[in-house]
Amino acid sequence: MFAQARHQRIAALLEEQGRWSVRDLQARTGASAATLRRDLAFLARAGRLVRSHGGVTRPGLGGAEPDFERKLRTAAAAKRALAAAALALVPARATVFVDAGTTTLEAGRQLLGREGVTVYTNSLPLLAEPPGGPARVVALGGEVRPLSRALVGGLALAWLEHLRFDVALIGASGLEAADGPSTTELLEAAVKRAALGRARRTVLLADASKWAEPAAVRFAGWQDFSDLVTDRRPDRAARAALARGGVRVHVAG
């Protein structure tokens, strides 16, 4: 079966049944494990499925990743408040990594107005902001993931190996006291991890609705963050986990 035919077959199976294990998909398509991994990675980058541990899910199904425009419209005022609180942690003339995501996008937009700041980002919407602000903006290379409009993959990771940041502003799809922050897709998780390892100060921006709603891919532990910016004080279990990780909590507003 040619690649295009396999992709159509996988998409049809997801329309028929919203969740499939990798093992069952392999049996239905007759593809080898390596070939199926490549197919699923391609379809995930195209926004046609969401990968999770051991399986895949149709986009828009409960627990899957919503589309970017819908996320952008959700809790816009809260995102602006989180962004403003996060930017209070960014020193003058800093070099800042801004993660792809709708909350970090708002932080990046506000950063563009700062004199002397250099912004590195894998967020296509941030890169598409009108030029002319005082901040310097540098794009990471990489493949475009249409669902989140993020630049990901080997080229983005290769860029990050050569960079250092004063601050990294990172988003998450879910939070859990025991495990830390998580996201929906392996390629984005890899970029987040790499950026965290290249920054002096690591700031997680996440609203309180993401607690106890872990996504498929854990990308860091609490010990990997210096700060959490959120909109409501976490509960006791979360505060204890954050304290053990040495994370300072900042409540916007």
Least confident of 128-132, 134-138, 202-206: 128-132
Query: pLDDT at position 110, please?
Result: 95
Separation of alpha carbons 209 and 189, rounded Å: 20
- Report the SS3 class of residue 167: strand
Tokens 């609203």 sit on residue? 207
Is residue 250 pLDDT above 70, yes or no?
yes
Mean pLDDT of 165-187: 92
Query: pLDDT at position 70, please?
Result: 63
Q: Bigger pLDDT: 67 or 5? A: 5
Separation of alpha carbons 88 and 75, rounded Å: 20
Is residue 167 pLDDT above 90, yes or no?
yes
Partners of 250 in beta bridges:
229
Mean pLDDT of the residues in the chain: 89
The CA-based angle 146-148-151, given to 5 degrees, is 75
- Find, among 45, 68, 40, the residue nearest to 56 by Cα: 40
Mean pLDDT of 58-87: 73
Residue 73: pLDDT band (50, 70, 90) is: low
Where do the domains of the chain lie? 3-57, 70-251
- Find, among 12, 37, 28, 63, the residue nearest to 182 by Cα: 63
Most confident of 3-12, 19-28, 30-39, 163-172: 163-172
Q: Do domains 3-57 and 70-251 have the same CATH topology?
A: no
Percent of the chain with pLDDT over 70: 92
Contact 9, 38 (CB under 8 A): no
3-state helix, strand, coil in the chain (%, to 5): 40, 25, 35
Helix axes 22-29, 3-16, angle to 10 degrees: 130
- Report the SS3 class of residue 206: coil
Most confident of 65-74, 117-126, 212-221: 117-126
- Report the SS3 class of residue 196: helix
Is residue 217 pLDDT above 60, yes or no?
yes
The two structure tokens encoding residue 33: 């494990």
CB half-sphere exposure, 108, CA atoms < 13 A? 30
Separation of alpha carbons 140 and 236, rounded Å: 38
Is residue 67 pLDDT above 80, yes or no?
no
> Between 3.90.78.10, 3.40.50.300, 1.10.10.10, 1.10.3720.10, what CATH number should domain 3-57 receive?
1.10.10.10
pTM for this prediction: 0.74
Residue 61: pLDDT band (50, 70, 90) is: low
Residue 14: pLDDT band (50, 70, 90) is: confident
Separation of alpha carbons 159 and 191, rounded Å: 10
Partners of 174 in beta bridges:
182
The two structure tokens encoding residue 81: 């408040």
Least confident of 22-31, 37-46, 119-128, 174-183: 37-46
**Residues 6+ positions from 141 with CB-CB distance below 8 Å:** 151, 155, 156, 158, 159
> Between 3.40.50.300, 3.40.50.1360, 3.20.20.70, 3.30.465.10, what CATH number should domain 70-251 receive?
3.40.50.1360
How do residues 74-118 score in pLDDT, each as one tens digit?
667 888 999 999 999 999 999 999 999 999 999 999 999 999 999
